[in-house]
Structure 1
Amino acid sequence: MVHVSGPLETYVEGFESELMRLGFVPISRGVQLRLMGHLSGWLDAKELVVSDLTVEIVDLFIRERRASHTVLFTHRALRPLLNWLVTSGTITAEVAAPRAVQDSVLLVRFEEYLRSERRLKEISVQAQVSRVRRFLNGYTPPGGISALSANDVTRALLGEGEGRKPVSVKKFGYVLRSFLCFCFLVGELDHDLTGATLAVRLPQPSLLPIGVSAEKIQCLLSACDRNTAVGKRDYAVIIMLSRLGLRAGEVAGLRLHDMDWRHGDFLVRGKGAKDERLPLPAEVGEAVVDYLLHARPEMPDLPEVFCTVTAPWRRLGSPAVWAIVTRACKRAGMAPFGPHRLRHSLGEAMVGAHVPLAAIGQVLRHDDPVTTTNYARVDVTRLRTLAQPWPEERGQS
């Protein structure tokens, strides 16, 4: 039993009930209650009450706790408690949120451009904005963006190359090129600086889509213990990836109301904000139903289908879907690979079944037909029939 004294003492019972609702096991509830006790004692020592909590006060507590503790000294650790205090009407929602970064007007406009004109998903928008923010804070000259020169752009790319992987620098250069083009188009720059972004070359393996054999996919599915909640979830995720060719983000973004069980189809929230309905095969539907009925936590306020199995319950992201596949690979004794290999497997299987390329593009929801034509190159046997015989040399005796 954890004893909490001080200003937060009267909130213990309600907070413990909230932790149980969120799925915290007894040990984890004890950890959260001890953190609550520390904050309560700290407020008491400062002669503060709960209503005195502000963003600045929370930041001060976190800094002092970090100096004396080795765990639970972040805003994320305090989030369950602060969210509960918001729900109970004790503090405002602003106190529970970490301090927001004040971005320039130009960066805010670029963010809106990515969201509305480029129609990128929110995770991609935030990733690009983060890189541009790093550029503006670290490499913009004193005169502001209008004084930017080609030397500044090159210096930024060279600076990013120190201590970072080439793939990270390449992404930075791609985003920087997009941002500079935006600045030129909206008049923030009177000259186009996109040519100053150095091309970062990475060693490229074969551009052929490489899938996984049907036997290996079956091994992945068999490696999921469907007697456990984790196994039921992982099985449903992997069978959706392999049978429907979904992307990791599309599986992670699947919502409960996207499933139309009466008509046997579901909504896919694809790239470029393109939503399409796909049929739901019986095998896939049965796996999802098994997960929903026997493994998914009862969280009515969580709209996504797939979520974590440990508290606090929250939706899965694309990295979590990748982790599900790679962990299944290890359990099956195979070299780890990502979920996109399963998408390629479906494409290869359709090529082997002589499905027309146009139909393959529809199933995989390719925007560009050129992307689909890559799958034509994996059927080496059929490609050999297109090869012309080597011309014989004339004039030989």
Structure 2
Amino acid sequence: MVVIANLSRVRVTGPMEAYVAGFETELSRLGFTPYSAAAQVRLMAHVSRWLDTRNLGVSNLTVGLIEEFFEERRRSYTAFVSPRALQPLVRWLAATGAIAAQTALPRPVQDPPVLTRFEQYLRTERRLQEISVQAQVSRIRRFLNGYTPGGGIGALTAAEVTQALLDEGNGRQPVSVKKFGYVLRSFLRYCLLTGDLDRDLTGATLVVRLPQPSLLPVGVDANQIQRLLEACDRHDPTGKRDYAILLLLARLGIRAGEVAGLRLEDLDWHTAEVLIRGKGAKDERLPVSAELGEALVDYLHIRPRMLQQHEVFCTVKAPWRRLSSPAVWAIVTRACQRAGLEPFSPHRLRRSLAESMINADISLAAIGQVLRHDDPVTTANYARVDVTRLRTIAQPWPAEGGLS
């Protein structure tokens, strides 16, 4: 029996007793606080007792057994009741060879071959970022699971396609239905080209039009951006990270996903440039100002050095892991709340940069180059924010009686 002195005393008996000291070291490496580490070891103790009552050893642990354990644990516990809670222990045991490596992996999804090929097409031919690939595959997986007829994808008709879109509208926002329809059209077009379908069903996808409350793209003014930056506590690790992220968004106009995907090797300190891995695998180098460079250095000094991932930005609390695009959105939202501003998305800061360049009489071609737009029409959309100049070309409204 091993006793761990912590905020609480954790007693581990059974087959996992010999692994406690090593797991404690791993939790420390991952950055767990003593309190959080104690909670992890308590969960370990429960698993060990559960295995012991079944005369099983650590090497017998499988994905199926883990799910069975949590099914039983949920009857008596309200915390740490999903397999995800056991991931630190399972991954460490797999890394040490105590259990099979596949036990640390999520249960594989048995996708039909056509979806597997579509996923590969999105990744290699369309060259979408991984987060976009997985989002599209998830939507098509849901469609195939719910609407594929008994005869398989080849027997699909317009009725199933239309019904899927109608059902998607139940309880979901129009923007979600629009995305679902876009992905579904792309998938049906792909199936037609590959021969999985012998007829074009894209016409069965309903057109979803979103309400347009305003045709003017709206950014954030300079005073609001300054309030946003000043709301970050730069004496705190979280504040240092958030300040650097907000500067990247506001000064370079990069996207949330590009912030999340920024890697250490993308920072070129000799040339004061940063490599941005944009949409469609389009890479561009942007200059790093002294202000931004100092913020990045300030954050990197407190970034966990034992983090194995190369992404620049990661979580502050254990277990340390890279930030996702939604996490960047959450950082902006929290910064707005601290600054007393109405919450807005990271993309508003990108629009703000475009508006400031328009006000500085910078050409649309140059703005498009900074924002890395492929289509000049996309950049031209930002020109509509200059209402003052638009008024100079507006035609006067006809006087009463002037219309026949």
Same fold (TM over 0.5): yes
Aligned equivalent of 1:312: 319
1:328 corresponds, among 324, 335, 357, to: 335
- 2:389 paired residue among 375, 382, 392: 382
Larger CA deviation: 171-180 vs 59-68: 59-68
Counterpart CA distance in 2 for 1:151 and 1:394 is 53
- Does 7-16 or 148-157 show the bigger shift? 148-157
Cα distance in 2 for partners of 1:119, 1:166 equals 27
Counterparts of residues 227-238 of structure 1 (less than 5 Å): 227-238=235-246
Give the SS at the match of 2:349: helix
In structure 2, relative to structure 1, the CA distance for the partners of 1:98 and 1:68 (3 Å cut) is: farther
Q: Following the alignment from structure 2 to structure 1, what is the Cα–Cα distance between the partners of residues 289 and 215? A: 30
Matched with 1:44 is: 52
8 Å contact from structure 2 (residues 59, 100) kept in 1? no
Q: Deviations over 1:4-53 (max 9, x none)?
A: 11111010001001101111001100100000001101110110011111
Instruction: Note if contact 1:266-1:278 (Cα within 8 Å) is conserved in structure 2.
Output: yes
Look up the SS of the partner of 1:120 in the other structure: coil
- Per-residue deviation at 1:159? 1.7
Aligned CA distance change for structure 1 residues 63 and 380 (closer, same or farther; 3 Å): same
- Whether the 8 Å contact between 2:184 and 2:205 is mirrored in structure 1 is yes
1:59 maps to 2:67 = yes
Determine helix, strand or coil for the equivalent of 1:276. strand
TM-score by length of 2: 0.94
Map of 2:266 onto structure 1: 258
After superposition, where does 1:320-359 map in structure 2 within 5 Å?
320-359=327-366
Shift, 1:59, TM fit: 2.1
Most deviating of 246-255 and 53-62: 53-62
Q: CA RMSD in A?
A: 1.7
**Deviation by residue 1:259-300 (Cα, 9 ceiling, x = unmatched):** 01111101101111111111111100100100111x312224
**Distance (whole Å) between structure 1 residues aligned to residue 306 and residue 377 of structure 2:** 42
Contact 1:140 1:152 in 2 (8 A): yes
Cα deviation for residue 253 of structure 1 reads 0.7
Q: Structure 2 stretches of 5 or more lacking a match?
A: 1-8
TM-superposed CA distance for 1:388, in Å, is: 5.2
Distance 1:283 1:96, change over 3 A: same
**Aligned to 1:277, what secondary structure does the other structure show?**
strand
Q: Secondary structure at the match of 2:12?
A: coil
Letter in 2 for 1:356: S
| Residue 378 to residue 18, structure 1, CA distance change in 2 (3 Å) | same
- Asked if residue 103 in structure 1 is aligned to residue 88 in structure 2, the reply is no
Q: How many residues align?
A: 394
Identify which of 14, 17, 23 aligns with 1:9.
17
**1:223-251 deviation per Cα after TM superposition (whole angstroms, max 9, x unaligned):** 00111111111111101100110100111
Deviation at 1:68, TM superposition (A): 2.6
Find the aligned partners of 1:394 and 1:100 in 2 and give their Cα distance.
Answer: 72
Q: Which range moves more in the overlay, 232-241 or 163-172?
A: 163-172
Q: 1:389: Cα distance to partner?
A: 6.2
Give the Cα separation in 1 of the matches to 2:154 and 2:280.
31
User: For the residues of structure 2 that align with 1:387 and 1:164, how far apart are their CA atoms?
Assistant: 39
Bigger drift between 86-95 and 283-292 goes to 86-95
Q: How is 1:1-397 mapped onto 2 (pairs within 5 angstroms)?
A: 1-293=9-301, 295-387=302-394
Report the identity percentage: 68
* Secondary structure at the counterpart of residue 254 of structure 2: coil
Q: Distance in 2 between matches of 1:385 and 1:198?
A: 40
* AA of the residue aligned to 1:335: E
Q: 1:382 to 1:37 in 2, by over 3 A?
A: same
Q: Distance in 2 between matches of 1:313 and 1:51?
A: 27
Shift in CA distance, 358/7, structure 1 to aligned 2, threshold 3 Å: same
AA of the residue aligned to 2:78? T
Q: Please tell me whether the aligned partners of residues 75 and 98 of structure 1 are also in contact (alpha carbons under 8 angstroms).
A: no
The answer to whether the 8 Å contact 1:181/1:192 transfers is yes
Deviation at 1:383, TM superposition (A): 2.5
1:108-133 CA distance string (max 9 Å, x none): 00001111111111111111111111
Residues 392, 171 of structure 1: CA spacing in aligned structure 2 closer, same or farther, 3 A cutoff? closer
The separation in 1 between residues aligned to 2:229 and 2:86, in whole angstroms, is 38
Distance 1:390 1:131 in 2: 48
Asked if 2 retains the 8 angstrom alpha-carbon contact of 1:154 and 1:198, the reply is: yes
Give the whole-Å Cα distance in 1 for the aligned partners of 2:123 and 2:259: 21
1:314 Cα deviation from its structure 2 partner: 0.6
Give secondary structure in 1 for the equivalent of 2:10.
coil
State the TM-score, normalizing by the size of structure 1.
0.96
SS in 1 for 2:13: coil
Asked if the contact 2:307/2:321 (under 8 Å) is kept, the reply is: no
Question: Counterpart of 1:166 in structure 2: which amino acid?
Answer: P
- Once the two structures are overlaid, the 10-residue window that deviates more, 67-76 or 186-195, is 67-76
> SS where residue 6 of structure 1 aligns?
coil
